[in-house]
Amino acid sequence: MNYIITTEQLTKKYKSFVAVNDVTLHIRKGSIYGFLGPNGAGKSTTMKMLLGLTAPTNGSFTIDGKQFPTDRIAILKEVGSFIESPSFYANLTGKENLDIIRRILGLPQSTVDDALELVGLSEFGNRLAKKYSLGMKQRLGLAGALLGRPPILILDEPTNGLDPSGIHEIRNLIKSLPDLYDCTVLISSHMLSEIELIADDIGILNHGRLLFEGSLDDLRQHALQSGFATDNLEDMFLSMVEKDNASRKQRAKL
């Protein structure tokens, strides 16, 4: 199998708190990988490690055959990212913000308009970013990640703060990206219903541990075996998390 991102027993500890515990991921090239888990499961921390924002306590990972910190610049040239909340220069317009990123990436001027158009922000490009609504900031962050159409996209809950039509629009955009220009997307969410609509593969994380990894079909199969209806994976996801929480409590008692 042609994996573009792999992690090997990736662990992140903050003093006694284990945010990510021995996570081993396999993300296929050209696929959309949905990273699922409740709030505080360790999705953002894992993504931050992949982007070099925080160092792993244990374990390793490779992105397109490259490793941090040796290949930091080479990795970041290939990865478009959007982590947690949108990051922007409040004193600059949307267009100027993207122009800063464009200059860093050494891309042609036209990529700014292209990215603005992709996220539906063209008509607000000349407005100061601080005057954007939450949804517009979210779109600007996404435009920053899509700038230059990078081969790998790491998106942490990109539809947060968007209205239903915005969610639908962005979801369709993300879904179309691998066909549009052959990229790989790692997208996190705490809603299986959302991930289900766009992802090819899924990783389920709870309290830092990977509970499931496989394709959507594998997950349906797993649901069937566990006695859940295949058309309601949400129930199975919740039961999986609850079961893990219960066993954690039991282990803690012992």
Partner 1 sequence: MRTFVIELRKEKRTGVIPLMIAIGVLGAAYAFVNFIVRKDTLLNLPLAPMDVLLTQLYGMIMVLNMFGIIVAACMIYNMEFKGSAVKKMYMLPISVPTMYLCKFLILTIMLLIAVCFQNMALAKIGVTDLPKGTFEAHTLISFAGYSFLTSMPVLSFMLFIASRFENMWVPLGIGVAGFLSGMALATSEIALFMVHPFVVMLKPAIAMSAQPDIAVVIVSMIETILFLCAGLWSAKKLRYE
- Least Å distance between CB 100 and partner 1? 6
- Least Å distance between CB 210 and partner 1? 22
**CB-count exposure of residue 142 (10 Å: 0-12, 13-18, 19+):** buried
Residue 95 interacting with partner 1 (CB under 8 A): no
Nearer to partner 1, 7 or 93 (CB): 93
Classify 184 as helix, strand or coil. Answer: strand
Residue span binding partner 1 (CB under 8 A) among the ranges 30-38, 58-66, 95-103, 159-167: 95-103
- Least Å distance between CB 188 and partner 1? 15
Residues 6+ apart with CB under 8 A from 241: 37, 38, 204, 206, 211
CA distance 167 to 188: 14
Site for partner 1 in 137-196 (CB under 8 A): 144
Report the residue from 1, 73, 252, 254 that binds partner 1 according to the rule CB under 8 A. Answer: 73
Q: Are 233 and 202 in contact (CB under 8 A)?
A: no
Classify 26 as helix, strand or coil. Answer: strand
- Least Å distance between CB 163 and partner 1? 22
226's tokens:
């566990």
Report the residue from 90, 224, 229, 246 that binds partner 1 according to the rule CB under 8 A. Answer: 90
Report in angstroms the alpha-carbon separations of 9 from 21, 31, 32, 128: 7, 22, 22, 43
Residue 89 interacting with partner 1 (CB under 8 A): yes
Residue 18 interacting with partner 1 (CB under 8 A): no
Residue span binding partner 1 (CB under 8 A) among the ranges 26-34, 72-80, 171-179, 237-245: 72-80
Residue 59 interacting with partner 1 (CB under 8 A): no
Residue 134 interacting with partner 1 (CB under 8 A): no
Going by C-alpha positions, the residue among 22, 33, 32, 37 that lies closest to residue 238 is 37
Residue 48 interacting with partner 1 (CB under 8 A): yes
Q: Is the peptide bond before 164 cis (omega within 30 degrees of 0)?
A: no
- Least Å distance between CB 52 and partner 1? 7
CA distance 215 to 33: 9
- Least Å distance between CB 128 and partner 1? 8
Quickly list DSSP for 109-168: THHHHHHHHHTT-GGGTTSBGGGS-HHHHHHHHHHHHHTT--SEEEEESTTTT--HHHHH
Nearer to partner 1, 74 or 167 (CB): 74
Q: Are 63 and 50 in contact (CB under 8 A)?
A: yes
Interface characters, 98-127, with partner 1 (x: CB under 8 A)? -xxx-xxx----------------------
Which residues contact partner 1 by CB under 8 A? 48, 51-55, 72-74, 76-77, 79, 81, 83, 85-92, 96, 99-101, 103-105, 129-130, 144
